[in-house]
Amino acid sequence: MSSSPRVIDVVAVLSGKRTVGQVAREHGVSEAEVEAWRALYVGGLEHAAAGASRLRGPVRRVALVASASLAAVLASGFAFAQTTTCSQTLTMPLVTLCADQPARASDVNGNFAQIVSWVNQKVGTVGSANVAITGTLNVTGTTTLGATTTGALTSGAQTVNGTVTTTGRIMSPSWSPPYAAWDSHPQGAGGSAIVNDNGTYKALMVVGNNSGNGSTRVVQLYDNVLINGRLTFAGNTRTHASTIEPSHATSWGSWSSMSFCPANTYLCGLAALTEGNQGGGDDTAMNAVQGACCTMGQ
C-alpha cells in the first residue's frame, strides 16, 4: 500500500528528517497547514493505538495497520481540501482562514501577532499614545492637526508637492527652501512670499505685503542687521525716515531743502568750510558743508 506524498512528508517531519518550512514551501502551502497535517496524522495514530490496545493476536496487528492507513487517508484528504477549496488570498505570512472550515487558534493568533508587528513598524508600539514613523509618510488627501499640541512633532525629510496651510506658527532651527521659479510660484496674501528662485533672478526672493496702502509692498526688519557681503540697492535709496537736529542750534536763518546722494550711492564723507579766528570783528566760523557720495559696495 502506497502513501501520499503529504503523508510521507509528515512522517519525515515527525522523524526530524525535514522541517515544517521545507514541506510548506514544496507543497505551496503555509506552515500552519503542515502543522495541521501533522496533528491529524498523530491524532489518527493515537486513536488507532487506543483501539488496538484492547485487541489480541493477529486481530490486533490488523487493527493497527488499518488504523494507521485510515489516519494517512484522513491526513491526505484534509490536505487536499485545504489546498483545493481555499486559496491563499492574504499577504504572506498571514494565513487565509477558509469558509466552512474550523479556524485553528495558532493561525488566528499568528495573524494577529503579524498585524501587531506591522503596526509597530509603521506607527510605533501598539498601546502607546505616541506615533513614530521611521519610513516615508505619503499623504494624498488633507491632513489636519489639532489646535493644541501637547507633545513634540519630530520628523525627518519630508517632500510636499502641494500647499501646506497652517493657522499657527511653524518653528524650526533651520529651513532650506528648495529651488522654485519665482514667476510661476504662488504668492501669499498681499503678494508676500519667500522663494528660492533658480530661474530669472537666481536669488532668495523676499517680498513684503501691501496691506498698508494696497500698492507698495513692505518688508520690515527689527533689531540689528549684520551684512557680511555687499549691500546693493537696485531701487531708489534716497528716502529717509527721520532727520538729525543739532542740540545747540540758534534761531538765525532758515533751513534749506534736503539734498540727497544720487540713486545707488550713499553719503560717505563730510567737509566743512570754516573761517578761523580773525582777531577782531565778527568771525564767520562755518560757512558751508560739502558731502561725498560713494557707490554702494565700495
Domain boundary among 90, 116, 142: 116
Contact partners, residue 289, CB within 8 Å, separation at least 6:
270, 271, 272, 273
Residues 108 and 9 in one domain: yes
On whether residue 133 sits in a domain, the answer given is no
Domain boundary among 75, 93, 116: 116
Number of separate domains in the chain? 3
Sort strands 193-196 and 286-295 into parallel, antiparallel or unpaired. Answer: unpaired
Q: What share of the chain is helix, strand, coil (3-state, %, to 5)?
A: 30, 10, 60
Range of the structural domain that residue 23 is part of:
5-116
Residue 222 has pLDDT above 70, yes or no: yes
Report CA dihedral (206, 207, 208, 214) to the nearest 10 degrees. Answer: 180
236/118: higher pLDDT: 118
On whether residue 128 sits in a domain, the answer given is no
The H-or-E segment that residue 109 falls in is helix 105-123
On whether residue 103 sits in a domain, the answer given is yes
pLDDT at 271: 92
| pLDDT tens-place string over residues 83-107 | 445 787 888 888 888 887 778 888 8
On whether residue 291 sits in a domain, the answer given is yes
| pLDDT tens-place string over residues 153-165 | 555 566 666 667 7
Grid cell digits, residue 11: 512522517
157/129: higher pLDDT: 129
On whether residue 229 sits in a domain, the answer given is no
Domain boundary among 95, 116, 137: 116
pLDDT at 79: 44
